[in-house]
Amino acid sequence: MEVGASGRQLRESHVASAMGEVRRHMPHWAFIGLGSNLGDRKANYFEAIERVQKLPTTRIIKQSSLYESEPLGDAKTWFVNAVIEIETESSADDLLKRLKAIETAMGRKRVRGKRWGSRIIDLDILFFDNEIISKRTLKVPHPELQNRKFVLAPLCELAPQMIHPKLGVSASELLAGLKSTKKIHLLRAS
């Protein structure tokens, strides 16, 4: 079965209940962007992956290569970035809560008024199904993804044909049209 214009396959599994009826069980899919520029950046990435893998009713489907990218704003150290695709039964709000809890558990401190500071780990929801969410606490697709090569390059490894539900163009078209001068290079191929 296809989901919207993206043509992504919805993964379905059929679970036979005790009553013998077949229940349709459809997890959500999501892409998550990861970044770290404090401490052992690669180790932070691997720890975050392990923690995501352990979230209830969640599994990692694909992982991109690791990239190193020039920081935005005040940060000095280059970031290690990657994108993963997951399947989850959590709602988008619940997933955000769980990702923020991982950031906190890994020691991330939020500095008031400082948006682009250094961070042990940053976990952003890039896409959640084909949903468009515009809450104060959660915006999906992530509002900056089309401006960030460190998101689009790893995303294009996993899902180049993925159609941005708001902009109506594919991830590879977004990457090809990107004007950013920020540098990025491959650190570790997947």
Instruction: Tell me which residue has tokens 């049209």.
Output: 177
How are beta strands 13-16 and 22-25 bridged, if at all? antiparallel
Minimum distance from residue 33 beta carbon to ligand AMP (Å): 8
Sign of torsion over alpha carbons 46, 47, 49, 54 = positive
Q: Is 140 in the site for ligand AMP (CB under 6 A)?
A: yes
Q: Is 134 in the site for ligand AMP (CB under 6 A)?
A: no
Minimum distance from residue 96 beta carbon to ligand AMP (Å): 6
d(CA 80, CA 90): 27
Q: Which of 93, 139, 172, 180 binds ligand AMP (CB under 6 A)?
A: 139
Q: Is 129 in the site for ligand AMP (CB under 6 A)?
A: no
Q: Is 30 in the site for ligand AMP (CB under 6 A)?
A: no
Q: Is 178 in the site for ligand AMP (CB under 6 A)?
A: no
d(CA 120, CA 89): 27
d(CA 150, CA 80): 9
Catalytic member of 41, 51, 119, 148? 119
- The identity of residue 137, as a single letter, is T
What residues act catalytically?
Answer: 108, 119, 122, 124
The binding site for ligand AMP (CB under 6 A) comprises: 96, 100, 122, 124-125, 137-140, 142
